[in-house]
């Protein structure tokens, strides 16, 4: 591992915080050492230092008592917080992703949100809410006017953009639609001079295999924690 990727010294070690306090600060609510995205965008929050108790205190005050939130990769959770679920994950870099625009991929807009939410509900690619589309560009492939596959952008740490919400209608899987959309979203990211990366559940071996075939490589294995803040 190069020095640029050494854990603890890279913006991707703490991607939610570096996105919320950097390129996506316009979508953020910040309290000193903690930040979160505005309601209905995404449940992910960021801590300036997960080892610092003051960061957790600020996050609890920001989110509110007895509320739920999601944090990427803290080493431990302070007393009083409840772990509702833990999802082991992988973080992958698209260093050798071969990108290309796709003639069938169309930009998705706010008018497409109901169809996007319906597709997400049926395919479960991860957290996606009514305003998630505000995080970046989303592309979709439609058939007879119906959205059958999509992919887009989520976290944006400085110099990077996460490819997310990659999903295909079950009746249209096996046609290579996900790969085409990943390459197309990656093309837009590279056009801006940024680098693509992504997260996936460690258990989703089929998706990870596809990402590896497309040119993504494993960087680290963060956990995704879904938490409830202290009641008081």
What per-residue confidence (pLDDT) applies to 232? 80
As a whole number of angstroms, the distance between CA 38 and CA 41 comes to 6
Mean pLDDT of 159-183: 97
More confidently predicted of 196 and 8:
196
Mean pLDDT of 132-146: 98
> DSSP letters along 40-68, please?
TT-SEEEES-TT-HHHHHHHHHHH-TT-E
pLDDT tens string 45-99: 999 999 999 999 999 999 999 999 999 987 789 999 999 999 999 999 999 999 9
Fold: same for 3-89+222-228 and 92-220: yes
What per-residue confidence (pLDDT) applies to 3? 30
More confidently predicted of 75 and 217:
217
Strand partners, 71: 45, 225
What per-residue confidence (pLDDT) applies to 140? 98
Please, are residues 216 and 198 in contact by the beta-carbon 8 Å criterion? yes
For residue 103, pLDDT beyond 90: yes
With bands split at pLDDT 50, 70 and 90, how would you rate the model's confidence at 9? confident
* Predicted structure pTM score: 0.93
With bands split at pLDDT 50, 70 and 90, how would you rate the model's confidence at 5? very low
Please, are residues 47 and 34 in contact by the beta-carbon 8 Å criterion? yes
Q: How far is CA 22 from CA 14, 16, 58, 115, 186, in A?
A: 12, 10, 19, 30, 21
**Tokens 């995205």 sit on residue:** 37
Supply the mean pLDDT for the chain.
94
With bands split at pLDDT 50, 70 and 90, how would you rate the model's confidence at 144? very high
> 92-220, superfamily in CATH?
Gcn5-related N-acetyltransferase (GNAT) (3.40.630.30)
For residue 149, pLDDT beyond 60: yes
What per-residue confidence (pLDDT) applies to 2? 32
For residue 117, pLDDT beyond 70: yes
What per-residue confidence (pLDDT) applies to 8? 58
- Residue 60, class by beta-carbon neighbours within 10 Å (0-12 exposed, 13-18 middle, 19+ buried)? buried
Which residues, in sequence order, are CB contacts of 101 under 8 Å at separation 6+?
A: 184, 187
**3-89+222-228: what CATH class?**
alpha beta
| Percent of the chain with pLDDT strictly greater than 70 | 96
For residue 202, pLDDT beyond 60: yes
Q: Write down the domain spans for the chain.
A: 3-89+222-228, 92-220
């Amino acid at each position: 591992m190069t020095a640029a990727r050494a854990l603890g010294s890279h913006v991707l070690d703490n991607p939610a915080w570096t996105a919320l306090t950097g390129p996506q600060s316009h979508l953020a609510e910040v309290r000193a050492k903690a930040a979160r995205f505005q309601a209905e965008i995404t449940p992910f929050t960021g801590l300036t230092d997960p080892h610092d108790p003051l960061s957790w205190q600020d996050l609890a005050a920001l989110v509110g008592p007895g509320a739920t939130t999601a944090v990427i990769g803290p080493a431990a959770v302070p007393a009083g917080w409840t772990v509702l679920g833990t999802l082991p994950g992988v973080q992958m870099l698209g260093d050798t992703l071969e990108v290309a625009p796709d003639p069938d991929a169309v930009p998705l807009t706010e008018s497409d949100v109901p169809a996007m939410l319906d597709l997400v509900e049926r395919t479960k690619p991860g957290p996606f809410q009514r305003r998630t589309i505000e995080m970046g560009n989303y592309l979709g492939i439609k058939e007879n006017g119906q959205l059958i596959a999509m992919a887009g952008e989520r976290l944006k740490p400085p110099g990077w953009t996460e490819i997310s919400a990659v999903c295909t209608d079950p009746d249209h899987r096996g046609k290579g639609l996900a790969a085409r959309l990943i390459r197309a979203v990656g093309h837009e990211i590279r056009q801006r001079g940024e680098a693509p990366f992504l997260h996936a559940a460690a258990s989703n071996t089929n998706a990870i295999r596809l990402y590896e075939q497309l040119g993504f490589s494993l960087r680290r294995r963060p956990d995704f924690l879904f938490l409830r803040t202290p009641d008081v």
